[in-house]
Amino acid sequence: MTDFNDLPAHVWPRNAFRQEDGVVTIAGVPLPEIAEEYGTPVYVVDEDDFRSRCQDMARAFGGPENVHYASKAFLTRTVARWVDEEGLSLDVASLNELKIALAADFPAERITAHGNNKGTAFLRACVTEGVGHVVLDSEQELVVLDLIAAGERRVQKVMIRVKPGIEAHTHEAIATSHEDQKFGFSLASGSAFRAAEAAIRAENLDLVGLHCHVGSQVFDAEGFTMAADRVLGLYSKIHRELGVQLPELDLGGGYGIAYTEDEQPLDVDAVAHDLLTAVAKTAAELGIDAPVVLVEPGRAIAGPGTVTVYEVGTVKDVTVDEGVTRRYLSVDGGMSDNIRPALYGSLYDARVVSRFTEAAPISSRLVGAHCESGDILVRDASYPADIETGDLVALAATGAYAYAMSSRYNAFGRPPVVTVRAGKTKLMLRRETVEDILSLEA
């Protein structure tokens, strides 16, 4: 642990800054002002951070249209508009995600639809709304989509999701290209080839490429390159045996970000360069045209630019062993606004953002206000001993899968989401109230 007053640049939003008075600002807006105006907890999104990461990805992968922002990380109409304005494409994984994108006037032809069990209504909406790509995940889906497209007298562009059999070094729940999981067609068993053949033969489907996804929070470029290599082998087989050159190759997402000071985010430029070079080289060796590489970052775009600001409430020293104490710092949110520590054992970087802290660090645990002892935000921490009730603490890099997976446990309403840019704040999502909760009662 370096100085607790630092804000490690690779973890915190690009426009986060600690002023001379100790107060942290994002895009020039002091976080205590946001807490005062909107209450706590509150998510604060650095809009320029989000947009700049869209631009970085677009540059690295040869154009914004090759980069599909993964909605599941965090989607609102505003987010969809940002993605559209930056020229990126968009992944959706449910009918409602598609509806939100369309409600933001996101162009349907730049949308790709995912899911292991899309359901007829979602597939039909994809066809009728003119969604650019549907990524087929099962034989059943292939047949159903072909029928729907026939009924609508359309030809639907599709990709085939392939399991290349790579085990990425990540949490099991979010590692998605090994064989024993629900997504895609196995490369090894030949079912991916058979699906490609069926899609090519289907009258109302137009197969434009194969898709694979190595996992989430991947820090190791090797997995992507190995997956690309294996999948290109199938491109070559399809070319040889079926006479079709597939123009696109979707390598999914999974670009790891730094949640803690010790972690280093995956270097997107370097990985993109290596990946595109490897794809070109392998394609040349196989005697096929190199397909355009598409990628699907979600977390790597939405994650680092957002912080969650909490107010410290109860402070309690607990004896955990003879002579050993742990300070429990309770905040006014918890597992309802960020399930990731409880669900995946995820780590976070927390700092006091309302002032400088001076005291020496002591063994600490940052916990939420839920009626559950597993409601822990940071399990093993070393924080200054002078953190006290009323201080504002922020967790960094909460832009992905925090709001998106938030619950109303203990009837906590969801916190608001506030965007900041050039010294100005704007409310993106208002705080949920008990009236919102009661509005579902019949």
Interface with its own copies in residues 44-83 (CB under 8 A)? 70-72, 75-78
Nearest residue to 112 (alpha-carbon basis) of 208, 221, 236? 208
Among 369, 377, 394, 395, which residue interacts with its own copies (rule: CB under 8 A)? 369
CB burial of residue 36 (10 Å; 0-12, 13-18, 19+): exposed
Nearest residue to 286 (alpha-carbon basis) of 229, 221, 246? 229
Residue type, 49: D
* Stretch of 27-35, 41-49, 348-356, 368-376 contacting its own copies, by CB under 8 A: 368-376
Nearer to its own copies, 360 or 438 (CB): 438
Binding mask 333-362 for its own copies (x = CB under 8 A): ------x--xx-------------------
Is 230 marked as a binding-site residue? Answer: no
Q: Which of residues 92-131 bind its own copies (CB under 8 A)?
A: 93-94, 96-97, 99-100, 103, 114-119
Bridging pattern class, strands 248-250 and 292-294: parallel
163 φ, ψ (degrees, to nearest 5): -100, 105
Q: Are 288 and 236 in contact (CB under 8 A)?
A: yes
Binding mask 180-219 for its own copies (x = CB under 8 A): xxxx--x-xx------------------------------
Close Cβ partners of 236 (under 8 Å, ≥ 6 residues apart)? 286, 287, 288
Does residue 432 bind its own copies (CB under 8 A)?
A: yes
Among 33, 105, 167, 173, which residue interacts with its own copies (rule: CB under 8 A)? 173
Nearer to its own copies, 60 or 148 (CB): 148
Among 63, 107, 130, 374, which residue interacts with its own copies (rule: CB under 8 A)? 374
Does residue 318 bind its own copies (CB under 8 A)?
A: yes
Does residue 174 bind its own copies (CB under 8 A)?
A: yes
Q: Can you say whether residue 105 is alpha, beta or left, with left for phi > 0 and alpha for psi between -120 and 50 degrees?
A: left
Nearest residue to 295 (alpha-carbon basis) of 273, 314, 313? 273
User: CA 254, CA 195: separation in Å to the nearest integer?
Assistant: 25
Question: Is 371 annotated in the active site?
Answer: yes
Nearer to its own copies, 77 or 355 (CB): 77
Nearer to its own copies, 241 or 436 (CB): 436
Which amino acids are annotated catalytic? 371
